[in-house]
Structure 1
Amino acid sequence: MDLSTPIYDSTQHNNFYPAESIGNALSVSELSGFITQLLSTLELQELGALYYQQLNTLLPVVGLSLSDFDARWVFGHAKVSSTLIDLPLKNVSSISGEQAQAYYYISSPLSLSQRETLFQLHDLFGKQVKHAVEHLRLKQMATKDALTGLSNRGGFEQSMIRQQAWAQRHGETFALLVIDLDNFKYVNDNFGHREGDKVLAHVASLLINVLRDEDEPFRFGGDEFCCLLDCQNQQQLACAAERIQAKINGSSYLARMGVSCSLGGAIYRDSDTTSTLFDRADSALYSAKNAGKNTYQAA
């Protein structure tokens, strides 16, 4: 889907709207069912998919993008020739903190009645998006590690499920990297747990700094970290592991503490569950540990 389509400000061109509607009308019971389903959906991605599916039956809307929340949340199959209409989601902020928008791609001009339908449904959708964003914020608070600021094990498991679902729907793959700090026990035993906490927070900051926007780090527990990576093959995964290892080994603070890292990685396969993928990466991590630490192994 091409998101570079020029924006057409339809509000400035009344002749953009044909006189007759070409959309399909919902019966009262169908409309009531749709609204009920919409208002009972609090998962933002699921909400967008449900909303687009219904819009597509009513109006010549061939694409909907909620990229202000996640670049992957694009529904439908808009073409370059599609016209883009962006409408603000009132009192909702994007991930960058700016006013969030919903981006509608239409295949043909809207009639006046279709325009009114779109605005009414968008207003209803926007109110539910606000509830979904608040729901997401509360979930994130529950899945955030207080020490490092990274998502915790619960957040990791949720992200793994989402990544697997995305991979299965779109035929794409991803990678998991498991990271264990070498000699961390020595830090706790010789410098105290407060210094150990500083090491963990420092490693988290290095991971955030070295990873790309599409990658996500987690504190899995203790001195173990995980990363979900947008890597399609073993070569890309090895490069990502090398960058992380170089970043950690390049820290003068960690070198002073005697801390390095061992890494194990695995690429998602069609037959994988979240458990089998993790087990393969974790097994590779133990191979790295047994090989003398401060190294990377792939499953």
Structure 2
Amino acid sequence: MDFSTTIYDSTQHDNFYPPASTGQALSASEITSFISEILSTLELEKLGEIYFRQLNGFFSLTGLSLSDLDTRWVYGNAKLSSTLVAIPLPGVTSQEGKPATAHYYFAVPLSLSERNALEQLHELFAKQVAQAQSFLRLHQMTTKDVLTGLGNRSGFDQALIRQLGWAQRHEEGFSLLVIDLDNFKSVNDSHGHREGDNVLVHVASQLQQVLRDEDEAFRFGGDEFCCLLDCQTQFQLECAASRIQLSINQSSYLRRMNVSCSLGGAIYREGDDTGKLFDRADAALYKVKQSGKNNYLAA
């Protein structure tokens, strides 16, 4: 993608609109069709894809950036010479919790009627995005681990399905790490389950500090954690695993509890489903546990 990083709305200039506004207003049937498709999903990623496809039927649109919502949600192939229109998304928040904006890129400047039509469609889209974000927040309440604040098993299963779908549609790889805490049972036996809970919370905090924004961590169950990582090569995956292991091994609290971690990793391959990918990472983890713990191996 060749999107400009400069936010510039050329519609603010007096000479933006062509002298003759030749575009036609949207018909009632076009609006009805648009609304029907927009209301067909509350999945944010799919909503963006549907919106971009619909806009191409109305305008000379070269690109759409919804990167405030997710850095990956950039559609089309806009050039720096494209006309950029930036419009706030009312009621929608960015990944940082700030007001979000949609960035539209057009091959030619919009006529006045086209600008009015864009604002009408944008408003409808923004309302559905706000609804989708509200639904996502409610949904996340059921997919969060209460103790650690990470995603739970259900959250992991759903995230892995989404990640597989993205990888298959866009031919972009990703990786899975399965992490098992070494000597965790002895913490519960020697210090009690409350201290065991403290260990789990501490490990979750370590993961959140080490992982990047595009990565996700989950408490899979018990003392086992999973991470979905934006890693396409074995070297990248090994670096991520090393960062996690180093963070845990250097924790004075975890050293005092005699807790380390074993890690098994796998990179997505064409034809993988959730079971195949997880089984490879889990098999690698099993080999680490059998060979002495506190190490990393990729399948």
**Residues of 2 paired with 1:282 and 1:289: CA distance?**
11
Moved more, 90-99 or 103-112: 90-99
Q: Which residue of 1 aligns with 2:132?
A: 132
**CA deviation string 1:222-274 (max 9, x = no partner):** 10001111111112111111111111011111111111111000111002111
In the TM superposition, what are the counterparts of 1:203-222 in structure 2 within 5 Å? Answer: 203-222=203-222
Give the SS at the match of 2:57.
helix
Q: Which residue of 2 aligns with 1:238?
A: 238
Moved more, 209-218 or 23-32: 23-32
Does structure 2 retain, via aligned residues, the 8 Å contact 1:5–1:84?
no
Question: Letter of the aligned partner of 1:288 in structure 2?
Answer: V
Does structure 2 retain, via aligned residues, the 8 Å contact 1:62–1:106?
yes
Q: TM-score, normalised by structure 2?
A: 0.95
Give the SS at the match of 1:218.
strand
Deviation at 1:21, TM superposition (A): 5.5
**Residues of 2 paired with 1:173 and 1:12: CA distance?**
41
Deviation at 1:6, TM superposition (A): 3.4
Q: Which residue of 1 aligns with 2:40?
A: 40
Q: Which residue of 1 aligns with 2:180?
A: 180
Q: Which residue of 2 aligns with 1:286?
A: 286
Does structure 1 retain, via aligned residues, the 8 Å contact 2:25–2:114?
no
Does structure 2 retain, via aligned residues, the 8 Å contact 1:174–1:231?
yes
**CA deviation string 1:128-176 (max 9, x = no partner):** 1111110111111111111111111111111111211121122221110
Moved more, 78-87 or 287-296: 78-87
Deviation at 1:188, TM superposition (A): 0.7
**Residues of 1 paired with 2:194 and 2:203: CA distance?**
14
In the TM superposition, what are the counterparts of 1:1-299 in structure 2 within 5 Å? Answer: 1-20=1-20, 28-299=28-299
Deviation at 1:3, TM superposition (A): 3.4
Moved more, 47-56 or 2-11: 2-11
Deviation at 1:26, TM superposition (A): 6.1
Considering only aligned residues, what root-mean-square deviation do their CA atoms show, in Å? 1.6
Moved more, 57-66 or 24-33: 24-33
Unaligned runs of 5+ in 1: none
Deviation at 1:5, TM superposition (A): 4.4
Query: Are the structure 2 counterparts of residues 185 and 291 from structure 1 closer, same or farther at C-alpha, using a change threshold of 3 Å?
Result: same
Give the SS at the match of 1:58.
coil
Does structure 2 retain, via aligned residues, the 8 Å contact 1:23–1:59?
no
Deviation at 1:22, TM superposition (A): 6.7
**Residues of 2 paired with 1:257 and 1:172: CA distance?**
39
**Residues of 1 paired with 2:131 and 2:150: CA distance?**
24
Q: TM-score, normalised by structure 1?
A: 0.95
Deviation at 1:113, TM superposition (A): 0.5
**Residues of 2 paired with 1:269 and 1:22: CA distance?**
50
Unaligned runs of 5+ in 2: none
Moved more, 43-52 or 109-118: 43-52
Question: Letter of the aligned partner of 1:126 in structure 2?
Answer: A
Query: Are the structure 2 counterparts of residues 56 and 190 from structure 1 closer, same or farther at C-alpha, using a change threshold of 3 Å?
Result: same
Identity %: 67
Aligned residues: 299
**Residues of 2 paired with 1:57 and 1:25: CA distance?**
13
Does structure 2 retain, via aligned residues, the 8 Å contact 1:24–1:58?
no
Moved more, 283-292 or 73-82: 73-82
**Residues of 2 paired with 1:5 and 1:286: CA distance?**
46
Question: Letter of the aligned partner of 2:88 in structure 1?
Answer: P
Does structure 1 retain, via aligned residues, the 8 Å contact 2:11–2:85?
no
Does structure 2 retain, via aligned residues, the 8 Å contact 1:60–1:107?
yes
Give the SS at the match of 1:176.
strand
Does structure 2 retain, via aligned residues, the 8 Å contact 1:175–1:229?
yes
Question: Letter of the aligned partner of 1:93 in structure 2?
Answer: T
Query: Are the structure 2 counterparts of residues 26 and 258 from structure 1 closer, same or farther at C-alpha, using a change threshold of 3 Å?
Result: same
**Residues of 2 paired with 1:130 and 1:84: CA distance?**
23
Deviation at 1:4, TM superposition (A): 2.8
